[in-house]
Amino acid sequence: MKKRCFWATESKLYQEYHDHEWGKPVYDDETLFEFLFLETFQAGLSWITILNKRENFRKAFDNFNYKLIANYGEDKFLELLKNDGIIRNRLKVRAATTNAQLFMEIQVEFGSFSKFIWDYVGGKPILNRFKSRDEVPATTELSDRISKDLKKRGFKFVGSTIIYAFMQATGMVNDHTIDCFKYAS
């Protein structure tokens, strides 16, 4: 039996996510936007709630196409608020459009969102060596800095905890515990 991180034992969905996505370095803007999008909707909720609704989000939000989301108008906003397959928080739904617009502004300024975000870690993952859940932080000085920068640019739902979860998900930090089979991969 595979030894996984402490949080990836509750469900098959968590295990699949852990084994195939979480902590794997992501450099393409489309996937980075998807993770940023999902993390912002996760604010205040459990990650399993988001994973369970991920495909509903994908359908409702045009396959996480930030170029389309950036241009959503009032009709689309109202349509999304009626979709019980997603998180229908008015502020988060509005933030999806704002964040997509700002994501594209960063692309213009830096050439890609990937370049912007990965520059924070020198282009390669930070390899942590945590032994237990008690050692894994919810935030770091770096997630504080990135959060502050994104908020200054106008992004919504990008607090330090959300940004650290984004960093973990996209492999900017390797927070697999050292006893996890994914740690060294």
- Bridge-based pairing of strands 126-127 and 173-174 is parallel
Q: What helix, strand, coil percent values describe the chain, rounded to 5? A: 60, 0, 35
In angstroms, the CA 70 to CA 167 distance is 23
The SS3 call for residue 174 is strand
**Residues with a known catalytic role:** 17, 39, 47
Beta strand residue intervals within the chain, DSSP E? 126-127, 173-174
In angstroms, the CA 25 to CA 125 distance is 7
The SS3 call for residue 122 is coil
Comparing CA positions, the residue from 60, 64, 61, 42 lying closest to residue 51 is 42
Question: Which amino acid type is present at position 154?
Answer: G
